[in-house]
Amino acid sequence: MRALHRFNGGVHPPEHKGESTLRPIQQPPLPEKLVIPLHQHIGNSAKPLVEAGDTVLKGQMIGKAEGYVSGAIHAPTSGKILSVGHEAVPHPSGLKDLCIVLAPDGLESWTDLQPIDHLNMDPSTLRNRLRDAGVVGLGGAVFPSFIKLNPGAGKRIRTLVLNGAECEPYITCDDMLMRERAREIIEGAAIMRHMLHAEEVVIGIEDNKPQAISAMREAAGQSMEVVAVPTIYPGGGAKQLIRVLTGIEVPAGERSTDLGVQCFNVATAASVYRAIRHGEPVLSRIVTVTGNVKNPGNFEALIGTPMDHLVDQAGPLEGSDGAIMGGPMMGFDLPSTAVPVVKATNCIIVKSDALFPTKPQPMPCIRCARCAESCPAELQPQELYWFAKAGNFGKAQEYALFDCIECGCCTYVCPSHIPLVQFYRYAKSEIWAQEREKKAADLARIRHDLRQERIEREKREKAERLAQKSAQAKTAEHSQPEQK
Amino acid sequence: MNSPYLAKSPSVAQIMAKVLLALIPAVAAYVWFFGPAVLVTMALASATALALEAVMLKLRKKPVKPYLLDGSALLTAWLLALSIPPMGPWWLIVTGTAFAIVIAKHLYGGLGSNPFNPAMVGYAVLIISFPVQMTQWLAPLSIAQSHLDFMSQLGYMFFHALPQGAQLDAFTSATPLDTLKTQLHLDKPMAAIMSMPVYGAIGGTGGQWVAAAYLAGGLYLLQQKIISWHVPAAFIATIFIVSGTFHLIDPAHHASPWFELATGATMICAFFILTDPVTGPTTPRGKLVFASGAGFLTFAIRTYGGYPDGVAFAVLLMNICVPLIDAYTQPAVFGKKK
């Protein structure tokens, strides 16, 4: 048995996972149109490869990865491109972003797929394949996976961690995936192990998912270790899970690869498997639709499926009032559900006043430090709050503001109901804005200095040229009579 | 609304309510051993505190209802009422409470912003300004030479009138700590002092049971996770170790460490006063430093100072140090431990 470690704090919110695990993963009917954002990952937006009027095949690349940190985008089904333009995307502000709108033809005609046998391929070929297949972290961070599978020369990966913890309340998409498609996850993990030359693979699953644990144990056999970890939020945070399974603490700003560990979500492993062994890019993902609905459950939704479409399948109940994308601890309010499912959409929670009552008015901080006791990053949230509130951002950084993972434990336990995480998000964005301004100012100053220098130089050169000319003229004048 | 969408009780009001609840056993013991006058003191202090809290909230343009119902003003009133003689004149109680609520709390920014424990500020103002009234403690009922009925007690508190022929000295006495100090000054041997009727098995007659009730209430707060162990443990351990050391070296002039724990305000301070989160440090190590400092100062003032008990000044002096303590006891964050 592996000796497990613990991390500071954490909380036990009501789980609400049972509701959405009653039925198997469902295939929703094909929606009338798909809205596929070109920016579904960390890094640069994909570059559109199609125009309105084009016909595309299922799995055809319609957006090309741009630059190193980026991912490709594909047509989730066959059909006709209606437009390439700005549409509302899932974002707290109701932001519009470049999207490809696709009208499915219902034929599901596939493009040519090229499965590869990973054992005969070197990791760099496999990485290129994953990049072109649009494989990104499906745990929510949507970081391009091929980058994480490139530890760099001389770096040894001892442990590959697979994250099946799924610690947020309500979300069950990984749970259902592990129950139903454990083999795909294990095969994907084997490919990643091959790419990283990892010595061991450890799969962490919270002990509130016994069915997923046994399915994964059966699929893994002796090759990988499936570990039941204690159920405590945010035990599924990558750093927290790495800590629990290996005892290693990955400091903020450092890469876990430098410490010999790499961590992937289980759904990412499954999509690695499909991308390599079947040549299938990421066209869909499992989405939990739960909360104030009649039939909460999990849907295998094509990327770009309007969320409305999924919510309708689950049957919203009376008293529904908006929706959350993600979990109730770290998710965000959707201004509208008329936005598409993206690669980051793990869960849609239909809200009601009964499920999420309005919080009481905040009271002053009484310095009780319950926030510090609950903080998995071992910060002093009360200090950060005072500094953020006072606009003392330098001090906030000194007290490790950027080590905050915004898990929300502090806010959850605050007896004064202070929206602490909001203050940290605010302070971080202010600091980023200041840094951008400073950079811009520095750049302007450098430009100004260079310009001054150039003007000076040109003046000097002009003066020199003039002096030379007049000197020449003088010599010419002097010599003229002699030439005559 | 923004994430997290979930919240867990208890609220500030619920925390305060539990602390008030935890004081009930001590109040009951107090009434049992010293009579019901303390209830009048508590009621008057509570009424004054709530009224002034409402006025101050209004003046500061804060919503009155949620703040009034948070229980913090009531708690301040109770702690002050339990710290002063139970049959003090009405103006003593009102003055102390007014100082606590108006000056120590609201003029410094109200709930969460006051650097000094309001109840202890109220107490300090009273003991400096009105030392006579502040040392007229009711004698335990079991040893008092005569009894005042409840109506006569009220008459004394509100009209400064005693029944015909009644003597104040007959039903008041010096506290066990005060008696010890005076008697040691008169070179009386320790054993003889401790056999005086004002002393019980460990601490003062009656008072030791009130202290035990504070301890019981404090253990309830620990069990409910309203307070952490750091402050009471460090305070009690420091007083025990320091007074124990002095007792071992010079038992003729220093009472036993158990006596120091069971008398005066040691127990109410350990669990109810020093544990005030607003005026204490937030870090675990800071709490240990803070409470040890308070324990040391309490012993020093009791032993060498001019006041009968050292708790109030020890708490206020340590309150001053809180920002410094917090700044120097910041724990290492995740992944950055040495």
**What pLDDT, in 10s, does the model give residues B277-296?**
999 999 999 999 999 999 99
The beta-carbon neighbor of A329 closest among B4, B280, B334 is: B4
Contact B112 A367 (CB under 8 A): yes
Confidence (pLDDT) at A285: 97
- Strands, E assignment, chain B: 137-138, 172-173
Tokens representing residue A469 in the block: 């000319």
Q: How far is B276 from chain A (nearest CA, A)?
A: 8
- Kindly state the percentage of chain A with pLDDT values over 90: 89
At residue A461 the predicted structure's pLDDT band, cuts being 50, 70 and 90, is: very high
Residue A476: pLDDT over 80: no
> Distance between CA atoms of A330 and B4, rounded to whole angstroms?
6
Confidence (pLDDT) at B148: 81
Task: Give yes or no for B278 touching A (CB within 8 A).
Answer: yes
Residue B9: pLDDT over 80: no
Burial label for A62, CB within 10 Å (0-12, 13-18, 19+), is: buried
Measured between beta carbons, which residues in chain A are less than 8 angstroms from residue B324? none
Measured between beta carbons, which residues in chain A are less than 8 angstroms from residue B330? 380, 383, 399
Confidence (pLDDT) at A152: 80
* CA-wise closest residue to B273 among B131, B78, B126: B78
Confidence (pLDDT) at A480: 58
Task: Give yes or no for B67 touching A (CB within 8 A).
Answer: yes
The beta-carbon neighbor of B6 closest among A332, A379, A412 is: A412
pLDDT digits (tens, 9 = 90+) for A384-442: 999 999 999 999 999 999 999 999 999 999 999 999 999 999 999 999 999 999 999 99
What single DSSP character describes residue B69? T
Measured between beta carbons, which residues in chain A are less than 8 angstroms from residue B63? 361
SS3 call for A442: helix
Contact A411 B335 (CB under 8 A): no
Find the helix packing angle between B90-98 and B72-83, rounded to 10°: 130
* Residue B187: count of CB within 10 angstroms of its CB: 8
Q: How far is B95 from chain A (nearest CA, A)?
A: 25
pLDDT digits (tens, 9 = 90+) for A104-114: 999 999 999 99
Across residues A187-191, what is the average pLDDT?
Answer: 96
Question: Which helix or strand (DSSP H or E) is residue B236 part of?
Answer: helix B230-249
Measured between beta carbons, which residues in chain A are less than 8 angstroms from residue B283? 369, 372, 380
Tokens representing residue B37 in the block: 């006058």
* Residue A401: count of CB within 10 angstroms of its CB: 21
Task: Give yes or no for B335 touching A (CB within 8 A).
Answer: yes
Measured between beta carbons, which residues in chain B are less than 8 angstroms from residue A92? 2
At residue B144 the predicted structure's pLDDT band, cuts being 50, 70 and 90, is: confident
Task: Give yes or no for A414 touching B (CB within 8 A).
Answer: yes
What single DSSP character describes residue A3? P
* CA-wise closest residue to A316 among A347, A283, A345, A291: A291
The beta-carbon neighbor of A378 closest among B1, B282, B333 is: B333
DSSP codes of every residue in B127-191: HHH-HHHHT-EEPPTTT-SS---HHHHHHHHHH----TT--HHHHEE--HHHHHHHHHHTT--HH
The beta-carbon neighbor of A328 closest among B5, B280, B337 is: B5
- For A262, phi then psi, to 5°, come to -135, 145
> Distance between CA atoms of B300 and B310, rounded to whole angstroms?
8
Confidence (pLDDT) at A484: 42
| A residues 335-374 lying closer than 8 A (beta carbon) to B | 351, 356, 358-361, 363-369, 372
Query: Between the CA atoms of A25, A29, A35 and A37, what dihedral angle is there, to the nearest 10 degrees?
Result: 20
Peptide bond into B4 cis (omega under 30): yes
- Kindly state the percentage of chain A with pLDDT values over 70: 99
| pTM of the complete model | 0.89
Contact B299, B260 (CB under 8 A): yes
The beta-carbon neighbor of B113 closest among A328, A364, A380 is: A364
Contact A320, A355 (CB under 8 A): no
At residue A309 the predicted structure's pLDDT band, cuts being 50, 70 and 90, is: very high
Measured between beta carbons, which residues in chain B are less than 8 angstroms from residue A91? none
Measured between beta carbons, which residues in chain B are less than 8 angstroms from residue A232? none
Task: Give yes or no for A14 touching B (CB within 8 A).
Answer: yes
Across residues A127-152, what is the average pLDDT?
Answer: 92
When mean pLDDT is compared across A466-480, B90-104, B254-268, the lowest value belongs to A466-480
Q: What rounded mean pLDDT belongs to chain B?
A: 92
Across residues A214-225, what is the average pLDDT?
Answer: 95
Contact A379 B335 (CB under 8 A): no
Contact A377 B334 (CB under 8 A): yes
> Distance between CA atoms of A211 and A221, rounded to whole angstroms?
16
> Distance between CA atoms of A391 and A414, rounded to whole angstroms?
21
Residue A130: pLDDT over 60: yes
Contact B7 A399 (CB under 8 A): no
Across residues B308-327, what is the average pLDDT?
Answer: 94
The beta-carbon neighbor of A367 closest among B10, B282, B334 is: B282
**Which position has the token pair 């499909």?**
A274
DSSP codes of every residue in A12-52: ------GGGGSSPPB-PPPPS-EEEES--SSSBPPEE---T
CB pairs under 8 A between A and B: 134
Task: Give yes or no for A230 touching B (CB within 8 A).
Answer: no
Higher pLDDT, A176 or B162: A176
Contact A364 B283 (CB under 8 A): no
Tokens representing residue A45 in the block: 């937006």
Confidence (pLDDT) at A481: 53
Contact A416 B283 (CB under 8 A): no
At residue B167 the predicted structure's pLDDT band, cuts being 50, 70 and 90, is: confident
Q: What angle do CA B24, B27, B30 make, to 5 degrees?
A: 155
Contact B2 A333 (CB under 8 A): yes
Residues 6+ apart with CB under 8 A from A145: A130, A135, A136, A137, A264, A268, A272
Which of A15, A170, A363, A414 is the best substitution to test chain B (most B C-beta atoms within 10 A)?
A363
Q: How far is A292 from chain B (nearest CA, A)?
A: 14
Task: Give yes or no for B111 touching A (CB within 8 A).
Answer: yes
Residue B315: pLDDT over 60: yes
Confidence (pLDDT) at A471: 87
Tokens representing residue A210 in the block: 């016994």
Task: Give yes or no for B338 touching A (CB within 8 A).
Answer: no
- Strands, E assignment, B15-170: 137-138
The beta-carbon neighbor of B2 closest among A8, A358, A419 is: A419
ipTM for the assembly = 0.90
Task: Give yes or no for A85 touching B (CB within 8 A).
Answer: no
Task: Give yes or no for B323 touching A (CB within 8 A).
Answer: no
Across residues B141-154, what is the average pLDDT?
Answer: 82
**Which position has the token pair 């959350």?**
A324
Measured between beta carbons, which residues in chain A are less than 8 angstroms from residue B227? none
Measured between beta carbons, which residues in chain A are less than 8 angstroms from residue B10? 415
Would you give the end-to-end CA distance of chain A in angstroms?
109
The beta-carbon neighbor of B330 closest among A8, A358, A380 is: A380
> Distance between CA atoms of B337 and B334, rounded to whole angstroms?
7
* Residue A4: count of CB within 10 angstroms of its CB: 15
* CA-wise closest residue to B228 among A386, A367, A11, A231: A367
pLDDT digits (tens, 9 = 90+) for A238-265: 999 999 999 999 999 888 999 999 999 9
* CA-wise closest residue to B309 among B271, B275, B272, B259: B259
Burial label for B278, CB within 10 Å (0-12, 13-18, 19+), is: buried
Measured between beta carbons, which residues in chain A are less than 8 angstroms from residue B70? 363
pLDDT digits (tens, 9 = 90+) for A159-175: 999 999 999 999 999 99
Contact B99, B122 (CB under 8 A): yes
Contact A328 B333 (CB under 8 A): no
* CA-wise closest residue to A133 among A346, A344, A347, A343: A343
Contact A363 B111 (CB under 8 A): yes
